Amino acid sequence: MQPREPNYLRDMLNAAQLAQSFVQGIDWEVFEQDLMRQAAVIRQLEIIGEAARGISTETQAAIPSIPWAKVIGMRNRLIHEYDAIDLEVALPGLITAVEQAIT
């Protein structure tokens, strides 16, 4: 493991826990109307993806429960294709990725 990787993994865990707490106990209709909550969740997902980019392929292989390519790919979409993301379609997959990152 590279020297900074424990920090990146900790950042991923913290961001995943925050994102999960932001959507816990609410339904889609509430989330859809709450732009601040959406922005908060999206920011945490960006952090997860950015931190994941700093994880070596060797460490990624040692933690196969995290869908690394999907996590990093979603970060790229959130950053570069933000206007093309349908949260109603993307959010369930994002939440699943967050939950996998936590466990």
For this structure, is 75 an active site residue? yes
Q: What is the pLDDT of residues 34-52, one digit of tens each?
A: 999 999 999 999 999 999 9
Reported as half-sphere exposure (CB side, CA atoms, 13 A), residue 43 has a value of 8
Provide mean pLDDT across the span 10-27: 90
Which range of residues forms the domain containing residue 13?
5-102
Which entry of 37, 43, 75, 77 is annotated as an active-site residue? 75
How far is Cα 23 from Cα 52, in angstroms, rounded to an integer? 22
**Confidence label for 101 from pLDDT (cuts 50, 70 and 90):** low
Confidence band, pLDDT 50/70/90 cuts, at residue 103: low
Total domains in the chain come to 1
37 flagged as catalytic = no
Model confidence over 71-84: pLDDT tens digits? 999 888 888 987 87
